[in-house]
Amino acid sequence: MSADAPSWTVCPLAASGRAPAPADRHRWDALWASSGHRSPFATLAYAEAVQAALGWRYTVLGVEPARGAPLAAGLVAFHRQRGPLVRLGVPPVTPYTPILLCDDLDEASIHRRRHPLETLLRALPAGHADCTLHLAPGLDDARPLQWQGWTAQPLYTARVPFRDATDPLTQWSASARRVARKNAPRYVVAPGAPAETVALLQASYQRQARGVPAPPGQLRALATQLTATGHAQTWTARPTPASAPEAAVTLLRDDRAAYYWLAGSHPGPAMTVLMGALLPRLQADGLHYFDFVGANTPSIAEFKRRLGGERVAYLRAERTQHPWLAAWKAWRTWKRG
């Protein structure tokens, strides 16, 4: 075997649009439990909900050192048909492509071109016009991508670390703490329904003259299914127990972190009050951090910074194979200047 040859074997765990067999589901779940890059977005329940609600089909690939051995890495590849083209990409409201590694990226194996991540990239299904991946924080070495012809650029999220018994609100700006403290008596913070979050999210996008990431009915179906499987939970802030909420957030959670997945609010202090009540609860649950899921728009990034969010980078990687699509993307980039 040459120094550049991969030392891993790719094993399909689920063909396009088909659920994995029980044994393969068990192998994926074991990899998820052992991976430092796990998140709710990398669960098979999330992939199944995206396919059912949003119409994105998925394929699951694993990398093993020997047939039947525990997986060293895995990937859920989402794809959809757009006219005559099949595009592998990132579904709406999915910040991170489900990629799992049993260990962190190892410099020596990367340099020898024998890392399982590079094996996964080589194994992506052929025939796609283009491919887009969002590599979660921690998967920040772009070289395995670039060496295979991908382009990679940094994106950012904001994370609130839960440090021992330190009150997470001490990381807030002074103005945000004042808003939360002054207005907390005006609101009841309590569990809610995903439909309430989607309604407030839709209204927020309409005020900004922006289109929602996906049709509201699809978002409701997605959030409802993930709530039923125990991966999502909704919290609201409302003036009275019987009134409509002024702020709502549907979180995705696992054993380590919570994610600010779907959220919306009326203009005013309600969301600040809601987050002021939620962060201490999440810390008390034993979570390691709270991920605000994106800090790439100035005003949104500043709001999250004031609530204790610390900037963390992740990668957007793209590879375009269809010549017409590549030419169109080049023209669009040129026109933007």
How open is the CA angle 250-215-336, to the nearest 5 degrees?
A: 100
Task: Please report the pLDDT score of residue 5 as a whole number.
Answer: 44
Task: Please report the pLDDT score of residue 130 as a whole number.
Answer: 84
What six digits make up the tokens of 309? 């969010």
CA distance linking residue 53 with residue 92, whole number of Å: 11
CA distance linking residue 1 with residue 333, whole number of Å: 42
- Model-level pTM? 0.91
Other C-beta atoms closer than 10 Å to the C-beta of 151 total 12
- The amino acid occupying position 176 is A
What six digits make up the tokens of 73? 């890495």
Strand partners, 10: 63
CA distance linking residue 294 with residue 263, whole number of Å: 12
Task: Please report the pLDDT score of residue 34 as a whole number.
Answer: 94
Comparing C-alpha atoms, which of 52, 57, 61 is closest to residue 27?
61
Helix/strand/coil (H/E/C) assignment for every residue in 233-255: EEEEEECCCCCCCCEEEEEEECC
pLDDT means per 10 residues, the chain with 337 residues, are 60 89 95 94 97 96 89 94 81 97 84 88 78 94 90 96 89 97 97 98 94 97 98 98 97 97 97 98 96 95 96 94 52 54
Residue 64 near residue 70 (C-beta atoms within 8 A): yes
Comparing C-alpha atoms, which of 269, 200, 191, 265 is closest to residue 235?
191
Comparing C-alpha atoms, which of 189, 188, 164, 169 is closest to residue 179?
169
- pLDDT tens digit string along 76-114? 999 988 777 788 999 999 999 999 998 777 888 889 888
Helix (H) or strand (E) holding 101: strand 99-101
Helix (H) or strand (E) holding 226: helix 216-228
CA distance linking residue 303 with residue 283, whole number of Å: 20
Task: Please report the pLDDT score of residue 326 as a whole number.
Answer: 53
Helix/strand/coil (H/E/C) assignment for every residue in 172-209: CCHHHHHHHHHHHHHCEEEECCHHHHHHHHHHHHHHCC
Residue 251 near residue 259 (C-beta atoms within 8 A): yes
* Locus of tokens 């595009």: 87
180: Cβ contacts below 8 Å, ≥ 6 apart: 169, 172, 269, 272, 273, 275, 276
Main-chain dihedrals φ then ψ at residue 82, nearest 5 degrees: -125, 100
Strand partners, 298: none
CA distance linking residue 31 with residue 264, whole number of Å: 34
